[in-house]
Structure 1
């Protein structure tokens, strides 16, 4: 007889997801293989998700919700599951992203996580450690669902021109990443500005940072080091970084000129014409 793990649904969001998946599957009178056949996944994968040995994806969750008539339960849970898999020091930041009505981000060297493509994210995360890379990439990309909310945050990203030329993941990956940035060109809630090399010394010279603003709570500034994050609501820090961000946006190219620079970088550096 196969050993069946008994999950404690209170142990973690992933355990709770697996517990609910098994409960609804059994209530429908289906085996793992039968459910897998219905949703076009293997029965083995269904079993791994039920025993919290495999992360569920949004696609898997939506298919199972439809097959079992769960009213979208698993699709709602998957975001919580993904956030729980982030490094402990970053989980608070993921919560800030979900709650914020405005996010202002300055990145000095690379494209930030909320705007990364799968290939780019995989290359960044696998630079030193390639263990569990599929799951870690999926967890990072799941944060981007914040833009699918009924009321998504207004997002401002100021990227150093260096981020366009630091070749992460190879030429094809960079072509896809820069095309992804251009896809937001007509989206008034996601705004990408490039800080050109010609700006010289600038207000972000001390490093990357984010400012999160909320409907009813004080703004929070977030900075990051190796393996650690530093959110703070200190009014003086928030005031200083908000002023710095205003200066960065003023020194950056306009939205239109930023898009043109991204196009030129794609053509000149990575050899593909972008319409």
Structure 2
């Protein structure tokens, strides 16, 4: 059994989750091992989460809610816990992304985070050599839940064709990722276009950027550099970004043509026909 230590519930969402888990478990007169047996995990894992040494998964939270009859408390809380595992500089953007009603993005290097498969995300995040890779992957997967809401944001994604050819993680990972992009054609509120190599020079050669729209807040533009991200609501920058995005989107293939190109690259480059 993990040695119990006192947590400050106000220190972080993870500490609050652990403190409340211990309190609810003890209130139910269950040991860590007993709770673990009910939710199909080890008592050691329960102890690690109670002491904020391990980040809970959404599945863990859902099982705890069912076992302790906590009316979805831990399931609601786990989203905040997972978001807190994102890099500190990225968390403000993730919070705004979750509130947006419209997301427009041009991606020159990688598949947009909201559209990444777990395997692709793991390979991308591993390039930073983090010590908490599993937690970062879980946090990225958690971000994607906004696309599965009853009223998801309208999400318009333009991917440079280079994104399709860059073999992140190898053929198996790329086949799965490109198949996932094709599967998103069935989602009415998500639109994917590819900016082909044939477009040549275009209005965003400077790199990737995102634009977010909100019902009650100013629009924002988000960009990243080597070590951090930057958000701005400057009207001048918003106008410039909107103009550049319109030009990129106009130069991109249609949704149908883009899907055909994704399928072609998937077959020819990664060896499997969707």
Which bracket does the TM-score occupy, shorter chain normalised?
over 0.9
Distance in 1, matches of 2:3 and 2:19, equals 16
- In the alignment, is the contact (CA less than 8 A) between 2:14 and 2:52 conserved in 1? yes
TM-score, normalised via structure 1 length: 0.97
Distance in 2, matches of 1:128 and 1:237, equals 29
Q: Which residue of 1 aligns with 2:220?
A: 220
Give the 3-state SS of the residue equivalent to 2:90 in structure 1: helix
Give the 3-state SS of the residue equivalent to 1:184 in structure 2: helix
Distance in 1, matches of 2:192 and 2:19, equals 41
Give the 3-state SS of the residue equivalent to 1:201 in structure 2: coil
Q: Which residue of 2 aligns with 1:87?
A: 87
Give the 3-state SS of the residue equivalent to 1:185 in structure 2: helix
Distance in 1, matches of 2:217 and 2:131, equals 38
Distance in 1, matches of 2:130 and 2:242, equals 36
Give the 3-state SS of the residue equivalent to 1:89 in structure 2: coil
Q: Which residue of 1 aligns with 2:49?
A: 49
Distance in 1, matches of 2:26 and 2:209, equals 47
Shift in Å at residue 29 of structure 1?
1.0
TM-score, normalised via structure 2 length: 0.97
Distance in 2, matches of 1:77 and 1:182, equals 32
Shift in Å at residue 136 of structure 1?
1.7
Q: Which residue of 2 aligns with 1:144?
A: 144
Q: Which residue of 1 aligns with 2:63?
A: 63
Give the 3-state SS of the residue equivalent to 1:59 in structure 2: helix
Distance in 2, matches of 1:237 and 1:2, equals 52
Shift in Å at residue 128 of structure 1?
4.0
Q: Which residue of 2 aligns with 1:23?
A: 23
Task: Tell me whether 1:155 sits opposite 2:155 in the alignment.
Answer: yes
Matches within 5 A, 1:1-275: 3-274=3-274
Distance in 1, matches of 2:2 and 2:70, equals 27
Shift in Å at residue 65 of structure 1?
0.6
Shift in Å at residue 209 of structure 1?
0.2
- In the alignment, is the contact (CA less than 8 A) between 2:2 and 2:48 conserved in 1? no
Give the alignment's Cα RMSD to 1 decimal: 1.2
Shift in Å at residue 45 of structure 1?
0.6
Shift in Å at residue 150 of structure 1?
3.1
Q: Which runs of 5+ in 1 are unaligned?
A: none
